[in-house]
Chains A and B, each alone.
Chain A
Amino acid sequence: MNPWPFVIAAYGLTFVATVATSLWAWQRARQAERRAADLLERD
């Protein structure tokens, strides 16, 4: 059995999960911190 499709599938899955989690966490932090800063500026 050729192992390379399995190796590529495992690395590909990890790559997609890593990128998606990074973008999600970064976007959520950026939005919340911007909104908090905007509210503070209104004071």
Chain B
Amino acid sequence: MHVLANPRRFLAIAVPATPWCFWGGIALILAGCWAGLFVAPADYLQGHSFRILYIHVPAAWLGMGGWSGLTIAAIMQLVWRHPLASVAGRAIAVPGAIFTALCLATGSIWGRPTWGTWWEWDGRLTSMLLLLFLYIGYIALARSSVERGDAGGVSRVTAIYALIGALNLPVIHYSVVWWNSLHQAKSISIVRMSSSIDPSMLWPLGLTVLGFTLWFTAIVLLRMRAMLAENRIEARLRRMSRG
């Protein structure tokens, strides 16, 4: 990871990697959505409404994965003072918030025909809503520290906020175990490499999860490239104003 501490070295990898991640991700998303909508069989209990799974699960994965990325960036900023860590944190926050909002919206749309309600204040839904508020708080803090001109982008307070916010991740994960919930219990275990979903329904999910992850990576890389270029512009203008 320290190899990428040099922005120039990072850009040498990020610039050619961006289109591969973007178009590879889009291709997998389209293939997965097509298979999820038209190839996978209807669920015996939920009928066709289960097809929302193929976008809801990647949205939840990236909403939580985004905050995990923020946490890693915050640790790298606080411990190793990695110069790109705060840029990475800022770049992840907005797409992470968008996916958390998409997870809540698609879950709500799925809930109406399945549970008979748009919203329920249970552990999983409430902790996911809290994650969205945490993202909004992070974006506001990061923006204010950039406007104040803190070196490197986001302040230490913003990084510490990301670490504290990470406490919500296990709450989201175990909420369906700890509390009675309308939300189903977990049906995929990455640790045990097992799933209760039939393979005929599972493989399109693999495509959309991988596709959205690649696309998310491309968006983060694009945002990091934009922020690094904006930093270069600002530094150049500062030098020019000094004469």
Contact = CB atoms under 8 A, between A and B. Distances in A.
Interface residues of A, number: 25
A28 B215 contact: no
Contacts of B110: 6, 10
A11 B230 CA distance: 34
A22 to B, nearest CB: 7
Which secondary structure dominates where chain B touches chain A? helix
A28 B226 contact: yes
A32 B51 contact: no
Given A17-B102, A18-B29, A3 B48 contact: yes
Nearest to B112: A6
Contact of B102 (A14, A26, A36): A14
A36 B106 contact: no
Interface in A14-43: 14, 17-18, 21-22, 25-26, 28-29, 31-33, 35-36, 39-40
Contact of B48 (A7, A9, A13, A33): A7
B233 A32 contact: yes
For the complex, would chain A's binding face be called helix, strand, loop or mixed by DSSP majority? helix
A10 B59 CA distance: 11
Contact of A7 (B52, B102, B223, B229): B52
A39 B233 CA distance: 7
A6 B215 contact: no
B12 to A, nearest CB: 14
B37 interface: yes
A32 B106 contact: no
B32 to A, nearest CB: 11
B33 A32 contact: no
Contacts of B236: 36, 39-40
Given A14-B102, A36-B233, A21 B48 contact: no
Given A10-B109, A29-B223, A32-B233, 9 more contacts: A11-B55, A13-B105, A21-B95, A21-B98, A25-B95, A25-B226, A32-B229, A32-B230, A39-B236
Interface of A: 1, 3-4, 6-7, 9-11, 13-14, 17-18, 21-22, 25-26, 28-29, 31-33, 35-36, 39-40
